[in-house]
Structure 1
Amino acid sequence: MRLAWLNDKNDTNYTVTQKGEEYIGVSVSRKSCAQVITKIINNPKKYSRESIGFADPTTQGSSRPVY
């Protein structure tokens, strides 16, 4: 997993990107991380053997992490 800078926002807005794709966003909420990890725990084949990244697409273009 490739995570963006973490923030404490109360949202689950994120976009998953695959290895080789443009990484969209500079920050992601801890709540979003928990949601992705829970999905993987509930379905271990989800993203199996993949290099995924995720971030909040609304933070795209920010020059620094969004807290």
Structure 2
Amino acid sequence: MIDPDEREQAALRAALKNMAELMAEIGWTTRFADLAEAQALALTTAAVDGFQEAMMASAPRPDPEVPF
């Protein structure tokens, strides 16, 4: 992602929050290279899910008063 806008930056922060919660369980001193495959996949999933959820939550909603 090049030059993320404000909404994308907020979604990235949400992704970091998800990842931080998982890192608290794994252990902050664990190097990425030392993660088990399942842990690395869980971190990736936390990041992607957090980003997508935040982007969906902040998406503009169509005005119900405006016909298609």
Larger Rg: 2
Normalised TM-score (structure 2)? 0.28
Higher strand share: 1
